[in-house]
């Protein structure tokens, strides 16, 4: 295969077809799975957990699989280059793990019809591009349920990252479930405009604590807010993206864990079996994509029990995190009594639910 | 003891030998590093420096080097005018961002019209945007004597905040499901900066970079303005006697670099990148400063240096994917390469003398 | 909106902590720039300091040893820049940028086995008597020791530059290196020492993040703090006293905007975030004394 080929650009299409064929034909070689990461694998958060998923694939299939990854890939032409490079090197399946890779994934996928692509958190698909995302809001609901009961000041702080549907969904889910168990609860929300900036996150946590919050939820990835809460004492936090168990049992009382392993293993299996089809996956606690980290004993036993019950109900589908009656912030009706939110509205959520104070920044 | 002595003339031999020496040194030290990381050093070096150009898949990587190197060269050429004249614009990153924002904004304002005029208009807006952003430090310098290094650097941060605001606000794609980022310009034929020959990597930005190299070469070596630029840098007082207006020189040099940076940003946003997003800028403006110096501020040198930098990016990506090398090791190798290239430059303008120096 | 929720005492107290890492890095860079050298590699030195300090603190269990290691690590890295610019006469802007690239890569490699570990505790000091003063006590006298180390360094640098002979030499070298050389001062030696001091301070600032503020190691954890430090030096017009003001202004805008948000005030975050940089430019323009050291960024070679 090391034959050096000098190809003119006109022959590009043919080469791609050939490459695709070789990747497809030799079923005896290990299945090759590529991962494109937006951050370093050592970020302890988003990319770290995707890499854990990659390691789980290696663990599950041993010699039958070969995984490769490239980290710190900026969104844009670099991402397209890295994806193409993986496809040319014979990858059968490529996971692109950042929303910003969306257009590049589709573009590269169109050139390699025989390579399967999986784009995380996006909404554009094609014959060989699937999308997958996690219903993190289910985890937020559990957090809200716990937070609403353990708060004494009735002020819950929320460190938000960017004003996008994913984050807004999390705020709404946490608020609805906190309010269900504690009608007096109040949310203070700060937008940090970053996914990861320890210094800024620490400041955000401090500000919220100073303004009376005794529970701090975070949608940013560093452990800085945990440390700030620990220093302040008597403040509860929840791990984000990773378990952050080094801060258990206090301040961290539970966590939302991104667990991509089951999905990555299943999709790799599908490629091996030849059963892979393009689909949109949005899994939650039930499928194991969203993990709820151990609820520590800092939480009263009855709260812990009811939180675990809620977790299990969300997992088996008997409870939906967004169940009516729910009004929008402006008082207009959104969900009637017993009605559950449809995925389309959730995917593009750009409003607060009734009771949350403040505006979503534009 | 050993002392440095300035050569009367830069050594022609070392102009060419020094960069080669630096690359060889980098390969040796880098090789040791890779060996320490448990990789085969020869394989890694070959993957980074050779494979993108000559491997089986080089037909794909060569255009990628152009795509990666194009903006670097375009930016660095612009900067080299100022650097030669002793005018330090280190805010090209900001001018690049503003160029992209202005160009994209003009395009998006006309969406979804289909006329051939849109792309040229965007190019104009991009260049103007970059130029205007560079005029801030230039005018402050001329009018108030404010240090342009620092003002241009500060304006990078301002531009980055502006970019975030645009991606989340004014330029956000209304059909983007609420996610940040503008419409994809490269998917809209009237505004797209497409590859001119499919699969060649040649888009308008790369063409502009080559034109800029030729233009700069002619101006700097043949034109009176080039002479004035060099004189201003080497002997500012002599330049004044020769009738060079220093204020005008600052405005022109900053203007050139700003406009070229804006162009680079526009071509990137309308082509390879496609959209205004929060993380649109990836540090080309800063890397271009290094490229300009690696190229010894000479147009041809910059072309080669830009190519070398792009090569390490592309090759580094391959090494990560094929050999499982961490991204940090590639970054370290690039840092080393730059250090060596900067260090060996001393051999061009100075020579070592053995013996007792007069002043230690 | 409920502005009464903002407690000014706590706000000012957290400001002192928030400003410490950038203050440390900035005071080092101030000395470097007063010696006529522009080192844009602050970010790289900070992050190498962050990981050096973290490794030593975790292995020895002593945060103090960690801080010492961070200073040494930062100084060693800066020495690379020093040799390059002072002996090999490389351009300072390009060398500084390369140093940042190098430092980010190096720190990531060094830290590969140190993820997900907590740093040893570094408790706050509740200074007796002083800490009990109402209002002032909680604002000023109840922090961790590094906050005071940072302030002491600023004070020391101020006194050094203003009153000591060595400080005078350093300023002379920065203002006009040819004249200083003619007077018999060792331009290169002075600059190398200044550069290493800058590296050590940046290292301390980085370690403050990894050992106190976060306290954990993650790749890229300085997240641009080094660049802010550069801005503060300029804002301060190279004067140590104003450095404090600058660090509190830059830190303060972040803390204030977060406070306003938490109080429910809708504010355009991006525009508030860019305001300190614009303020810096305005300061540069209006302060006539805001003139940069004469030889800043220029290459020195002793003509014979």
User: What average pLDDT does the segment A13-23 reach?
Assistant: 43
Residues of C in contact with A48 (CB under 8 A): 115
Alpha helices in B194-326 (DSSP H): 204-222, 224-234, 236-241, 246-270, 284-294, 299-323
Backbone angles phi, psi at B260, to 5 degrees: -65, -35
Percentage of residues of chain C with pLDDT beyond 90: 37
The interface pTM score, or ipTM, of the predicted complex is: 0.87
- Averaged pLDDT of chain A: 87
Q: Tally Cβ neighbours within 10 Å of residue B112.
A: 9
Residue A28 has pLDDT above 80, yes or no: no
| Residue of C106, C112, C218, C248 best to disrupt the A interface, most CBs of A under 10 A | C218
Lowest-confidence range among B159-168, C40-49, C139-148?
Answer: C139-148
How confident is the model at residue B359, as a pLDDT? Answer: 43
The answer to whether C299 contacts chain B (CB < 8 Å) is no
Domains annotated on chain A, with CATH? 9-133 (3.40.50.2300), 136-259+289-347 (3.40.50.2300)
Chain C residues with CB-CB distance to B359 below 8 A:
181, 302, 304
Taking the C-alpha atoms of residue A80 and residue C83, their distance in angstroms, rounded to an integer, is 39
* Per-residue pLDDT, A15: 43
Fold of C3-113+148-286: ABC transporter involved in vitamin B12 uptake, BtuC (1.10.3470)
Q: Which of C167, C226, C160, C201 is nearest to C75 (CA)?
A: C201
Number of residue pairs across A and B with CB atoms under 8 Å? 109
Q: What is the pLDDT of residue B356?
A: 52
What does the pLDDT look like over A182-210, one tens digit per residue? Answer: 999 999 999 888 888 888 888 899 889 98
Q: Cβ(C178)–Cβ(C185) under 8 Å? A: no
**Cβ distance of A9 and B198 shorter than 8 Å:** yes
Cα torsion B86, B90, B92, B94 to 10°: value is -140
Q: At C298, is the pLDDT very low, low, confident or very high (cuts 50, 70, 90)?
A: confident
* Contact (CB<8Å) C88/B342: yes
Contact A223 C214 (CB under 8 A): yes
- A26 in C contact zone (CB under 8 Å): no
For residue C234, the model assigns a pLDDT of 83
Residues of C in Cβ contact (< 8 Å) with A38: none
Best to test chain C binding among A189, A203, A224, A352 (most C CBs inside 10 Å):
A203
- Give the DSSP H or E segment for A118: strand A116-120
Nearest Cα to B274, choosing from B174, B196, B170, B203? B203
As a whole number, mean pLDDT of residues A63-91 equals: 92
Asked which of A173-187, A333-347, C42-56, C137-151 is least confident by mean pLDDT, the reply is C137-151
Q: Which of B54, B274, B317 sits opposite A70 (nearest CB)?
A: B317
Sequence ranges of the domains in chain C: 3-113+148-286
Q: Which chains touch C (3 or more CB pairs under 8 A)?
A: A, B
| Cross-chain Cβ contact A198/C268 below 8 Å | no
Determine if the peptide bond prior to B112 is cis (ω within 30°): yes
For residues B242 and A127, give the distance between their C-alpha atoms in angstroms, rounded to a whole number.
68
The pLDDT, as a whole number, for residue A1 is 32
> Chains that contact B by 3+ CB pairs under 8 Å?
A, C
CB contact under 8 A, C105 and B343: no
In chain B the first and final C-alpha atoms are separated, in Å, by 9
pLDDT, residue B111, reads 84
pLDDT band at A11 (very low <50, low <70, confident <90, very high): very low
- A358–C266 CB contact, under 8 Å: yes
| Residue contact B179–A34, C-beta within 8 A | no
Helices (H), chain C: 8-34, 42-60, 63-82, 92-110, 136-140, 145-163, 165-175, 177-182, 187-208, 225-235, 240-262, 269-286
Alpha helices in chain B (DSSP H): 12-36, 41-49, 51-54, 58-84, 92-109, 118-144, 148-168, 204-222, 224-234, 236-241, 246-270, 284-294, 299-323, 327-344, 346-349
Rg (CA), chain B: 22
Best mutation target among B156, B290, B330, B334 (most C Cβ atoms within 10 Å) is B290
Task: Please tell me which residue of chain B has the smallest CA distance to A81.
Answer: B64
Q: Which pLDDT belongs to residue A56?
A: 95
B128-175: per-residue pLDDT in tens?
999 999 999 999 989 888 888 878 988 998 999 999 989 888 888 888
Question: Which residues, in sequence order, are bridge partners of residue B191?
Answer: none
Whether residue A142 has pLDDT greater than 60: yes
Q: Are A350 and A168 in contact (CB under 8 A)?
A: yes
pLDDT of residue A25 exceeding 50, the answer is no
pLDDT digits (tens, 9 = 90+) for C189-216: 999 999 999 999 999 999 999 998 888 8
On whether the CB atoms of residues A242 and A45 are closer than 8 A, the answer is yes
Q: Tens digits of per-residue pLDDT, A220-271?
A: 988 889 988 988 888 999 988 888 888 888 889 999 999 999 999 999 999 9
Q: Which of B7, B58, B1 is nearest to B346 (CA)?
A: B7
d(CA C99, CA C81): 7
Query: Which chain C residue shows the shortest CA-CA distance from B357?
Result: C304
Mean pLDDT by 10 residues, chain B (360 residues): 72 80 89 89 91 89 92 95 88 96 93 86 96 95 84 90 89 82 86 81 89 93 85 82 87 95 95 88 88 89 93 92 88 88 81 58
Assess whether pLDDT exceeds 60 at residue C304. Answer: no
Please state, in angstroms and rounded to a whole number, the distance separating the CA atoms of residues B78 and B289. 10
- Picking from A80-94, B86-100, C247-261, which range would have the lowest pLDDT averaged per residue? C247-261
Which residue segments constitute the domains of chain B, with CATH numbers given?
1-37+326-360 (no CATH), 58-325 (1.10.3470.10)
């Amino acid at each position: 295969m090391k034959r050096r080929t000098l190809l003119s650009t006109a022959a590009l299409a043919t080469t791609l077809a050939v490459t695709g064929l070789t990747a497809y034909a030799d079923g005896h070689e290990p299945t090759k799975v590529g991962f494109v990461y937006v951050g370093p694998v050592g970020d302890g958060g988003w990319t770290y957990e995707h890499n854990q998923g990659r390691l789980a694939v290696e663990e599950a299939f041993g010699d039958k699989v070969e995984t490769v990854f490239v980290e710190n890939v900026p969104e844009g032409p670099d991402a397209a280059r890295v994806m193409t490079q993986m496809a040319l090197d014979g990858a059968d399946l490529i996971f692109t793990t950042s929303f910003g890779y969306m257009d590049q994934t589709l573009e590269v996928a169109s050139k390699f019809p025989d390579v399967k692509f999986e784009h995380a958190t996006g909404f554009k698909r094609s014959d060989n591009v699937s999308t997958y995302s996690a219903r993190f809001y289910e985890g937020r609901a559990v957090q809200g349920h716990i937070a609403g009961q353990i708060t004494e000041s009735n002020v819950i702080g929320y460190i938000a990252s960017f004003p996008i549907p994913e984050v807004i969904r999390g705020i709404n889910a946490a608020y609805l479930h906190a309010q269900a168990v504690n009608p007096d609860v109040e949310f203070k929300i700060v937008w940090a405009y970053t996914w990861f900036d320890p210094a800024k996150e620490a400041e955000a946590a401090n500000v919220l604590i100073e303004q009376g919050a005794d529970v701090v939820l975070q949608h940013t990835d560093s452990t800085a807010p945990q440390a700030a809460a620990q220093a302040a004492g008597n403040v509860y936090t929840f791990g984000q993206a990773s378990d952050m168990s080094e801060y258990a049992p206090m301040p961290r009382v539970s966590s939302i864990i991104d667990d991509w392993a089951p999905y990555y293993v299943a999709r790799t299996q599908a490629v091996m079996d030849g059963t892979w089809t393009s689909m949109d996956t949005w899994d939650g606690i039930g499928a194991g994509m969203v993990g709820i980290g151990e609820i520590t004993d800092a939480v009263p036993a009855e709260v812990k029990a009811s939180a675990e019950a809620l977790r299990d109900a969300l997992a088996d589908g008997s409870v939906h995190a967004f169940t009516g009656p729910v009004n929008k912030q402006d008082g207009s009706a959104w969900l009637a009594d017993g009605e559950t939110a449809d995925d389309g509205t959730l995917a593009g959520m750009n409003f607060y639910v009734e009771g949350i104070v403040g505006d979503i920044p534009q | 003891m050993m002392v440095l002595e300035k050569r009367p003339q830069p050594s022609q031999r070392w102009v060419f030998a020094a960069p080669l020496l630096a690359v060889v040194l980098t390969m040796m030290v880098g090789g040791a590093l890779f060996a320490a990381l448990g990789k085969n050093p020869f394989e890694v070096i070959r993957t980074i420096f050779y494979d993108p150009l000559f491997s089986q898949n080089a037909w794909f990587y060569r255009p990628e080097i152009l795509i990666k190197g194009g903006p670097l060269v375009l930016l660095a050429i612009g900067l080299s005018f100022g650097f030669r004249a002793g005018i330090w614009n280190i805010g090209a990153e900001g001018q690049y961002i503003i160029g992209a924002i202005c160009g994209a904004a003009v395009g998006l304002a006309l969406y979804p019209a289909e006329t051939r005029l849109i792309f040229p208009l965007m190019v104009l807006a991009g260049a103007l945007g970059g130029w205007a952003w560079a005029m801030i430090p230039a005018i402050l310098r001329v009018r108030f004597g404010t240090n342009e290094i620092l003002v241009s650097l500060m304006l990078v941060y301002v531009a980055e905040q502006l970019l975030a605001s645009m991606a989340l606000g004014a330029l956000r794609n209304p059909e983007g499901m609420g996610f940040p980022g503008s419409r994809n310009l490269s998917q809209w034929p009237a505004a797209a900066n497409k590859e001119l020959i499919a699969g060649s990597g040649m888009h308008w930005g790369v063409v502009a970079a080559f034109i800029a190299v030729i233009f700069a070469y002619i101006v700097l070596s043949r034109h009176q303005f080039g002479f004035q630029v060099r004189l201003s840098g080497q002997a500012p007082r002599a330049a004044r006697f020769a009738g060079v207006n220093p204020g005008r020189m600052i405005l022109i040099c900053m203007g050139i670099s700003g406009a070229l940076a804006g162009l680079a940003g526009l071509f990137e946003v309308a082509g390879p990148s496609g959209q205004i997003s929060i993380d649109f800028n990836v540090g080309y403006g800063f890397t271009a400063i290094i490229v300009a110096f690696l190229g010894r501020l000479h147009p041809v040198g910059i072309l080669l240096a830009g190519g070398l930098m792009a090569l390490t990016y592309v090759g580094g990506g391959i090494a990560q994917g094929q050999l499982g090398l961490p991204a940090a090791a590639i970054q370290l190798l690039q840092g080393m390469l730059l250090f060596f290239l900067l260090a060996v430059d001393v051999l061009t303008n100075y020579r070592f003398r053995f013996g007792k120096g007069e002043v230690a | 909106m409920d502005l009464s929720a903002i407690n000014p005492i706590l706000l000012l107290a957290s400001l002192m902590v928030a400003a410490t890492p950038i203050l440390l890095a900035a005071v080092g860079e101030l000395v470097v720039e007063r010696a006529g050298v522009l080192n844009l590699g602050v970010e790289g030195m900070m992050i190498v300091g962050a990981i050096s300090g973290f490794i030593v603190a975790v292995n020895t269990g002593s945060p103090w040893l960690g801080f010492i290691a961070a200073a040494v690590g930062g100084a060693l890295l800066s020495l690379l820049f020093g040799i390059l610019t002072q002996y090999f006469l490389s351009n300072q802007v390009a060398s500084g940028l390369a140093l940042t690239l190098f430092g980010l890569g190096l720190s990531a490699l060094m830290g590969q086995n140190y993820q997900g570990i907590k740093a040893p505790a570094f408790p706050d000091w509740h200074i007796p008597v002083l800490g009990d003063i109402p209002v002032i006590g909680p604002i000023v006298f109840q922090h961790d020791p590094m906050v005071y180390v940072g302030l002491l360094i600023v004070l020391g640098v101020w006194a050094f530059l203003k009153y000591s002979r060595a400080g005078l030499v350093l300023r002379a070298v920065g203002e006009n290196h040819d004249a200083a050389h003619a007077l018999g001062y060792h331009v290169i030696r002075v600059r190398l020492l200044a550069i290493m001091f800058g590296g050590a301070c940046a290292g301390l600032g980085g370690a403050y993040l990894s050992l106190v503020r976060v306290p954990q190691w993650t790749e890229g954890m300085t997240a641009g703090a080094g660049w802010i430090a550069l801005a503060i030096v300029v804002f301060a017009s190279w004067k140590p006293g104003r450095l404090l003001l600058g660090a509190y202004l830059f830190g303060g805008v972040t803390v204030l905007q977060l406070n306003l948000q938490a109080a429910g005030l809708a504010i355009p975050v991006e525009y508030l975030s860019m305001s300190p940089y614009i303020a810096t430019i305005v300061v540069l323009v209006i302060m006539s004394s805001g003139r940069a050291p004469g030889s800043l960024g220029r290459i020195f070679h002793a003509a014979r």
